[in-house]
Copies of this chain bind each other. A is one copy, B any other.
Amino acid sequence: MADPIIREALVSALRKILDAQFILSTQEQLKPFECDGLSVYKALPMVAVLPGSVGEVQEIVRLCHRLKVPLVTRGAGTGLSAGAKPDPDGLLLVMTRLSNILDINSATQTARLQPGVRNLAISEAVKQHGLFYAPDPSSQIACSIGGNIAENAGGVHCLKYGLTVHNVLQVSGFTMAGDPITIGNGGLDNAGLNLLPLIIGSEGMLMVVTEITVKLLPLPNQVEVILAAFDSIEKAGQAVSNIIAQGVIPGGLEMMDNNAIRAAEDDAQAGYPRDAAAILLIEIDGSPVNVSEQLQSTHKVLQDSGVSSVKIAKTDAEKALFWKGRKSAFPAVGRLSPDYYCMDGTIPRKSLAEVLGYIHTLSEQYGFPVANVFHAGDGNLHPLILFDANQPGQLESVEAMGAKILEKCIEVGGTITGEHGVGLEKIRQMPLQFSDEEINQFHGIKAALDPDNLLNPGKNIPLLKHCQEYRALAKNLRPNQLLIQHEATA
Interface residues of A (CB under 8 A from B): 106-109, 152, 154, 158, 162-163, 165-166, 175, 179, 181, 185-198, 200-202, 217-218, 241, 245-247, 286-287, 289-290, 293, 346-350, 378-380, 413-419, 422, 426, 429-430, 433-435, 437-439, 441-449, 460-461
Contacts and interface: CB of A to CB of B under 8 A. Distances in A.
Contacts of A433: 191-192
A10 B89 CA distance: 53
Contacts of A429: 191
A143 B441 CA distance: 30
Q: Report copies per complex.
A: 2
B152 A189 contact: yes
B181 A163 contact: no
Give the interface SS of chain A, mostly helix, strand, loop or mixed. Answer: loop
A409 to B, nearest CB: 9
A123 to B, nearest CB: 16
B158 A188 contact: yes
Of A152, A166, A186, A202, chain B has the most CB atoms within 10 Å of the CB of A186
B152 A417 contact: no
A347 B108 CA distance: 12
A51 to B, nearest CB: 22
Contacts of A347: 187
A47 to B, nearest CB: 28
Nearest to A448: B444
A414 B187 contact: yes
A417 B346 contact: no
Contacts of A152: 189-190, 194
Contact of A188 (B162, B188, B194): B162
Given A107-B350, A193-B198, A193-B202, A188 B154 contact: yes
Given A165-B194, A441-B195, A188 B418 contact: yes
B444 A186 contact: no
28 contacts: A109-B245, A154-B189, A162-B188, A175-B441, A181-B435, A181-B441, A185-B346, A186-B348, A186-B379, A187-B347, A187-B378, A188-B346, A188-B380, A189-B419, A191-B415, A191-B434, A192-B433, A193-B442, A193-B445, A195-B441, A218-B246, A218-B247, A286-B290, A289-B289, A290-B293, A444-B448, A444-B449, A445-B449
A189 B415 contact: yes
A153 to B, nearest CB: 9
A380 B447 CA distance: 34
Contacts of A190: 152, 201, 415, 417
Contacts of A196: 197
A449 B190 CA distance: 20
A442 B189 contact: no
A246 B186 CA distance: 19
A347 B187 CA distance: 7
B378 A241 contact: no
A447 B449 CA distance: 12
Nearest to A159: B188
A417 B190 CA distance: 7
Contacts of A422: 191-192
Nearest to A158: B188
A181 B437 contact: yes
B379 A187 contact: yes
Nearest to A247: B218
Given A195-B441, A289-B289, A187 B418 contact: yes
